[in-house]
Amino acid sequence: MKKSKVFWGYAILALLIYAVVQVMISTGAINFYYQNMLITMCINIMLAVSLHIVIGITGQFSIGHAGFLAVGAYISAIFTMKLGMPFPTAILAGAVFAALAGLLVGIPTLRLKGDYLAIATLGFAEIIRIVFLNVDYVGGAAGMQVTHQSNWTYAFFGVLITVLVISNFTNSRHGRACISIREDEIASDAMGINTTYYKVAAFAIGSFFAGLAGAIYAHNFYILQPTAFGFLKSFDILIFVVLGGLGSLSGSIIAAIFLTVISTYLQGFPETRMIIYSLVLILVMLYRPTGLMGTKEITDLLKFGKKGGTKA
């Protein structure tokens, strides 16, 4: 099949899913509870995919993703609530500021490797959270009132844009460069790839979409508090990526959907939820350290009959 045909096939499928759900929402077949779950699912997919480009594609172990989520959430909330801007502008602003934060954090820290990078990004995320905790303009610890403006349309198109951009980036020349950095940083440096440039670029793109998710997250509830962006949130996002497979875009999406459904049903038992999460995390790492899907995509699994498959 020609590549453009595949693309249009997916585009029609996506629009069909959107239209069906939208019709079901407007006729009341999906009630408020499930609508909320769908939006949470979309936010989680965006977060998983945006972290996937940093950890799965570029191989940079960042565990401070909640920090960029917080930047996107707070900046967009400031734009709508304090400056009176329309919601789409606020989404864009949240994403842009998160990307700037990503650049700011990425340029100094991406010289570090492995564990040190992990702990430094965790530290940066905590610093971001503490800054929001101490700024009275955004309500400090008490939190900030935000109107409910996110709906299925914003959430769905957020996911669509995120997945589209990140999958296209992965399959481009730049994405290949990032993958080579994941496989062997020193060798790809020797091959003439500007490793710092690509690491920072992937980091900034990841932060951009985390900010986008943050903007939708902020306007999905009525109050925004810094406690929502601690390291538990970062670990939650990390779990999506790891469980789905380090390096698999569809894997992270499936894990995000699956875990959102599970945690929605376990909402009444938060301890049990975390025990299950952590056990799953340990067992997956012990028996399948590359995650459930590895670096495979769902499309690879569907065409196992054909030798070699279509050339991307």
Partner 1 sequence: MEWIQQLVNGISLGSIYALIALGYTMVYGIIKLINFAHGDVFMLGAFIGFYAIARWEMNFFLALIMAMMLCAVIGVIIERVAYKRLRSATRIAALITAIGVSLLIEYTVIFFRGSSPEAYPTVFAAKNFDIFGVQISTQSILILSVSIVLMVLLQFIVHQTKIGKAMRAVSHDADAAKLMGINVDNTISATFAIGSALAGAAGVIFGVYYTRIDPLMGVLPGLKAFVAAVLGGIGIIPGAMTGGLVLGVVETIVSALGYSLWRDAAAFVILILILILRPAGIFGKNTREKV
Residue in 210, 242, 249, 254 binding partner 1, rule: CB under 8 A: 242
Check binding of 122 to partner 1 (CB under 8 A). Answer: yes
Residue in 119, 164, 165, 266 binding partner 1, rule: CB under 8 A: 119
Residue in 4, 115, 307, 308 binding partner 1, rule: CB under 8 A: 115
**From CA 195, how far away is CA 174, in angstroms rounded?**
11
Per-residue interface string for the shown chain with partner 1, residues 193-232, x marking contact by CB under 8 A: --------------------------------------x-
Check binding of 292 to partner 1 (CB under 8 A). Answer: no
Check binding of 135 to partner 1 (CB under 8 A). Answer: no
Q: Which residues contact 280 (CB under 8 A, 6 or more apart)?
A: 243
Check binding of 13 to partner 1 (CB under 8 A). Answer: no
Output the six-digit token pair for 266: 């376990």
Check binding of 40 to partner 1 (CB under 8 A). Answer: no
Q: Is 107 exposed, middle or buried (0-12, 13-18, 19+ CB in 10 A)?
A: middle
Residue in 28, 32, 33, 286 binding partner 1, rule: CB under 8 A: 286
Is the CB of residue 78 less than 8 Å from the CB of residue 140?
A: no
Q: Which residues contact 3 (CB under 8 A, 6 or more apart)?
A: 310, 312
Q: Which residues contact 93 (CB under 8 A, 6 or more apart)?
A: 75, 76, 79, 85, 215
Residue in 34, 104, 123, 151 binding partner 1, rule: CB under 8 A: 123
**From CA 80, how far away is CA 50, in angstroms rounded?**
24
Check binding of 118 to partner 1 (CB under 8 A). Answer: yes
**From CA 64, how far away is CA 105, in angstroms rounded?**
10
Check binding of 285 to partner 1 (CB under 8 A). Answer: yes
**Contact residues for partner 1 (CB under 8 A)?**
55, 61, 63, 108-109, 111-112, 114-116, 118-120, 122-124, 126-127, 130-131, 133-134, 186, 231, 235, 238, 242, 246, 271-272, 274-275, 277-279, 281-282, 285-286, 289
